[in-house]
Amino acid sequence: MYKILFNYYLAEKQMPITHINLFSFLASACIGIFTTLFCIQLLKPIAVHIGLVDIPGGRKKHLNAVPLIGGIAVFLGFCFALLSFNISLSDYRGLLAGSAVLMLIGVMDDFKELTPRIRLVGQCLATLFLIVWGHISLDHLGNLFFFGNLNLGIGIWSYLLTIFIVLGFINAINMIDGHDGLAGLIILGEALMLAYYNFMFHQGEDAALLLFFFATLCVFLFFNMPLPWRKHASIFFGDAGSTFAGFVIAWFALYLSQLFLSQTHPIKGFNLVTVLWVLAYPLYDLCTVLLHRVMTGKSAFAGSRDHLHYLLFDRGLRLSTVTFLLFVLSIAFGLWGFFLANKHIREFWQLLIFCAVFAVYFLISWRMHLNSAHSSSPPLANARGSELNI
């Protein structure tokens, strides 16, 4: 696989590449890393003092109150890295504005849980910044049904579909934030895969920004994942962090999907479904959980234990094992999508395979859900992001 990845880069060297100064990139990355680290150390005692913490109880089985400042620190680190980088910010105004809106709504939700309507309004506003200031919308769907390229054009249907996709993915990430390190690792892998695609297609600035995001996430995960000298997370992402992270990934994924389908793009095989494979695990989990709830007569807005990470834990797997397995699964989905694109499989068949894999995922999850319904395993929960937040 690594030979395929490298050969694609060599094969496309004739494409124009955005020049990135290596020293400027490394300096900005260091600024992002140290800003994130500084914010974590600064905000932890403040969060405890003002009550911005996740209190154990009910479905939440951590032992102590945990500061919900991981997302704030990552956001500030990413912003400082972006602002210090020697590029024009005009293309990223929507990214910064939308992220700021989600951070504000998320922090308010972490303090005192907001209604789903308020959260949805904030997420819609952030997506409008993506569309209006970022000039990103799902205009081209590609040849998904053998009828030729399906182009929605710039208009109401394109905007509505974009809002639907972005909101779905934001909440998909929020829903998998169920225990230490899981959402952070999944986002980390997706950011790295999207950064490689941008590098491969010579979108140097976007690749650099995704690597800044990757670097700040690494700092967060150092405090969020169990380590030999620390059994539990010392900070959580919070709803602010999970929604912000989902928005960042959705931003770059949408842009990349439209780049793949642009009329001037010379590489065949890469399309919207290629990007869907990168995002597959959170999307599969979201659709599976919603279908479970509809089939069992439950509210789609009620938190429950029908997520795959809970189901695996209920079968006796350790939390660290569950996190590692799902991280590997997410990476495997992304690599499988690259393999299909590399083999120039037609878009319709790629979409059909994507749906077939989802059907298998759903059936396995449903079977595990039925089995766990008869067990008496103690409930597991962690951050507030483990509750459905749509």
Beta-bridge partners for 54:
66
Position of tokens 């969060």? 47
Beta-bridge partners for 67:
53
Q: What is the pLDDT of residue 181?
A: 86
In a domain, 179, yes or no: yes
Q: Which of 306, 313, 310, 308 is nearest to 292 (CA)?
A: 306
Round to whole Å and give the CA distance between 133 and 117. Answer: 24
Domain, as residue range, for 312? 2-137+148-386
pLDDT confidence band for 269 (50 / 70 / 90): low
Write down the mean pLDDT value for the chain: 85
Give yes or no for residue 141 having a pLDDT over 70.
yes
Residue 100 corresponds to which tokens in the numbers above? 């700021």
Which has more confidence, 308 or 101? 101
In a domain, 258, yes or no: yes
Q: Interior CA angle at 279 toward 7 and 373, to 5°?
A: 135
Round to whole Å and give the CA distance between 181 and 179. Answer: 6
Provide the residue type at 232 as one letter. H
Which has more confidence, 143 or 88? 88
Could you tell me where the DSSP H helices lie in the chain? 2-11, 22-50, 70-84, 93-111, 116-132, 156-175, 182-200, 204-224, 238-260, 272-278, 280-295, 308-314, 319-342, 347-373
Give the residue-averaged pLDDT of 157-184. 91
Contacts for 15 with CB less than 8 Å, ≥ 6 apart: 201, 202, 266
Q: Which of 30, 269, 254 is nearest to 140 (CA)?
A: 254
Round to whole Å and give the CA distance between 100 and 103. Answer: 5
Give the residue-averaged pLDDT of 234-257. 95
In a domain, 89, yes or no: yes
What total number of domains does the chain contain? 1
Taking a C-beta distance cutoff of 8 angstroms, is the pair 212, 205 a contact? no
In a domain, 142, yes or no: no
In a domain, 206, yes or no: yes
Q: What is the pLDDT of residue 56?
A: 67
Give yes or no for residue 303 having a pLDDT over 80.
no
Q: What is the pTM of this model?
A: 0.88
In a domain, 63, yes or no: yes
Return the minimum-mean-pLDDT range out of 23-27, 63-67, 166-170, 361-365.
Answer: 63-67
Q: What is the pLDDT of residue 384?
A: 43
Q: What is the pLDDT of residue 52?
A: 92
In a domain, 143, yes or no: no
Q: What is the pLDDT of residue 310?
A: 80
Beta-bridge partners for 57:
60
